[in-house]
Structure 1
Amino acid sequence: MPGGRPSSPTPAGALGFYAAVFGWRSQAMDMPGMTYTVLSTGEGDQQDASFGGVAGLQGDTEETRWIPYFSVDDVDETVARVQGSGGSVLMPASDVPDVGRMCWLTDPLGAPFAIIKPEPPQ
């Protein structure tokens, strides 16, 4: 990463790279205001083999970064615990049909992560 810039500043660039390196498959899902791309291992049913996703960042940044998702039993309770422990909300909790309830957060130092209660549970 010369000059600290990512080598794949777009979701399409990142998807192409990881497909070539790991053989990961991707399937775009239209969502309000954005496209979210589900990643899978390419083994079995797309939904059963999915393990992550890619979305473009909102705003004027051109950075690419990973945001880990953690499966939780109760998104709203977990959001309250994160905020009570010094973290903050990047994207409010919302329900995504056939995906689950999710929220994007940061820890107290600003590192981003997301939580999800998958639907159906996986």
Structure 2
Amino acid sequence: MLHDAIKKIQSEMQKNSNHPYVQVIGTFLHQYLETNPAAAERIMAADKTIIKSLDAMRKEAEKKKVGSCAVLTDAEGFGIVLSYFGIDGVVPTATPISQPVPAPQPQPMPKAKPAAVDFDVNLDDLLR
């Protein structure tokens, strides 16, 4: 079953080789199957495809849309894909994406040095 699921993923990736998101999701599913071979049965469902999982992801992102922009984290997106395939699993993450990034600290401005004066004018000289 695992071998068939991997072949199904690779076949869809080849069929949609010009679609970058199919490649990303296909790679994720392949890697997921390596550590979770029991999920192969769910991926083999005839009516489930990577393209349709992207549609499920789009629908979920629209729920979070602000103006014309919708954003999902990697974990959220991959979690939606797993859910679409009917897989109850945890998405492995290399780094915690949802932690806030500290704001950059402002650098102190260097103190200006007084300019050297070559010019000396006496008001009395000007008034004469």
TM-score by length of 1: 0.28
Q: Which has the higher contact order (CA 8 A, sep 6+)?
A: 2
- The answer to which structure has the higher helix fraction is 2
TM-score by length of 2: 0.27
**Bigger-Rg structure (1/2):** 2
- The answer to which structure has the higher strand fraction is 1
